[in-house]
Amino acid sequence: MCLLGSAVLVNWGGIVEAKEIEYNEWHSKEHMPERISLPGFLRGLRAIGIPGTDLNHKYFMMYEAEQKEVFVSKKYLERLNNPTEWTKEILSNYLSPSRTICSVISSKSIGIGGYFSTIRFLDNKISNNYNVENLKSFTPKILKLSGITGMHVIAGDRNFGQMNTKEKKLRSSQGFDDQIVSQAVIIEGLNYQSLKTAINNFKKKYSLKESKNLIINYYFCQNILTKEDLLNI
């Protein structure tokens, strides 16, 4: 799916196991509709990790917006500082939150792939070998791989939209502060094996080594919501 607009809010994290079923209900039936109803929000997505994914990284969520300023708008901040009771309950059980407002550097896709892989760069200092422009240049080769339907490169902003809102405080209830990504790559595909091949190509091309500052995960899509979908709720 080609990303809509010029900015995204990306989130990774987990949920206390006893709250996982309720978390999915909340995110699909309250949280995404609430967010997508706001001016400037265009689409929301939630994906769940493949079997064996670390509980702390089990979910990947993304909101696409017209521009970065949407994520610091008055109406959005009002929501962040006035969470519903259900939101308070869910976010207080959140694990290892990662939340960053990002600019879309590149987005190429044929429709929506059901599987996703994400490469997160958490370090402040990014090697020139894999800055966003270099990663972007690898897109044509990745898209030629069997089973790959899309690739997106985004750049995080560590100083934008990091206000200490009530929702941010709730997310830290389990003892984890928000992680912020410096940049990330999102790859879409038809199956896990195709994504694995694409990631191996990335590792070889850029000499990438997974670590606490470079995290790679695999997901499959659970739910997508657009403004048009809200008309049917």
Mean pLDDT within 13-17:
96
For residue 122, being part of any structural domain is answered with yes
Q: What band does 109 get if pLDDT is binned at 50, 70 and 90?
A: very high
Q: Which residues lie closer than 8 Å to 175 by C-beta, 6 or more apart?
A: none
For residue 175, being part of any structural domain is answered with yes
For residue 143, being part of any structural domain is answered with yes
Question: Is the pLDDT score of 232 beyond 90?
Answer: no
Q: What is the pLDDT of residue 125?
A: 81
Q: What is the pLDDT of residue 57?
A: 97
In the chain, the number of structural domains is 1
Mean pLDDT within 67-79:
97
| Model pLDDT for residues 116-135, shown as the tens digit of each residue | 999 999 988 887 778 899 99
For residue 121, being part of any structural domain is answered with yes
Q: What band does 1 get if pLDDT is binned at 50, 70 and 90?
A: confident
Which bin fits 160, alpha (ψ -120 to 50), beta or left (φ > 0)?
beta
Q: What is the pLDDT of residue 116?
A: 98
For residue 111, being part of any structural domain is answered with yes
For residue 56, being part of any structural domain is answered with yes
Question: Is the pLDDT score of 89 beyond 90?
Answer: yes
Q: What is the pLDDT of residue 92?
A: 97
For residue 1, being part of any structural domain is answered with no
Q: What is the pLDDT of residue 231?
A: 84
- Which residue has better confidence, 233 or 198? 198
pTM, to two decimals: 0.95
Check if the beta carbon of residue 112 is closer than 8 Å to that of residue 188. Answer: yes
**Domain range for residue 98?**
7-230
Question: Is the pLDDT score of 233 beyond 90?
Answer: no
| Model pLDDT for residues 167-222, shown as the tens digit of each residue | 999 999 999 889 999 999 999 999 999 999 999 999 999 999 999 999 999 999 99
User: For residue 29, which phi and psi values (nearest 5 degrees)?
Assistant: -100, -15
Query: DSSP 3-state assignment of 82?
Result: coil
Place of tokens 């997901």: 219
For residue 133, being part of any structural domain is answered with yes
Question: Is the pLDDT score of 159 beyond 90?
Answer: no
> What CATH code is carried by the domain that includes residue 106?
3.30.70.100
- Percent of the chain having pLDDT more than 70? 100
